[in-house]
Amino acid sequence: MQRTSVEGVWLSTPEVRTDNRGTFHEAFRQDTFAESVGHPLRLAQANVSVSRRGALRGIHFAAVPPGQAKFVSCLNGAILDVAVDLRVGSPTFGRYTAHELSARNHHSLYLAEGMGHAFLALTDEATVMYLCSARYTPHKEHAVDPFDPVLGIAWPRHPTPVLSPRDSEAPSLTELASGNMLPSYESCARR
């Protein structure tokens, strides 16, 4: 696993073995994960979504506590996966990193607690699985406007991105910060 430009986000590029039957790779391994990141991933829930081309999911984050770390993989098709540092006081607050995850490249992205997560489906059908450190708790879940100009995310052009009502009406980073809705870097670092 390698660090990205945003603190708390790591890219996993597994070794893929190929033979006449197809391919094999270790998608996740606790010991190598913990060695790279510095702590194990507490697995509480695994989610799978299937999205059509142009579907934009997020930017989502969970309040801390409990927070929710994620290990994201694309099992079919391809996505542009985006992690945004939403931790007030972090040296990389407000910055994002974007990586293509696909069934072809086998990459995964790890996001620590306090990160915002979003992805855009780049193929007709994209199946995404994410391992989560905490279970889904609806009243602790929040969203940030994925088109917030303050974040300046360079989304690939798509005629009409498909968003949920929640995501299309999500507040800006500035609105969330002024309402004290964002996690603090300090509270996430203690976890």
Q: Catalytic amino acids?
A: 60, 130
Contact 128, 119 (CB under 8 A): yes
Of 173, 169, 189, 190, which Cα lies nearest the Cα of 181?
A: 173
Q: Is 64 exposed, middle or buried (0-12, 13-18, 19+ CB in 10 A)?
A: buried
Distance CA 26, CA 17 (A): 10
Radius of gyration of the chain (CA): 16
Contact 71, 41 (CB under 8 A): yes
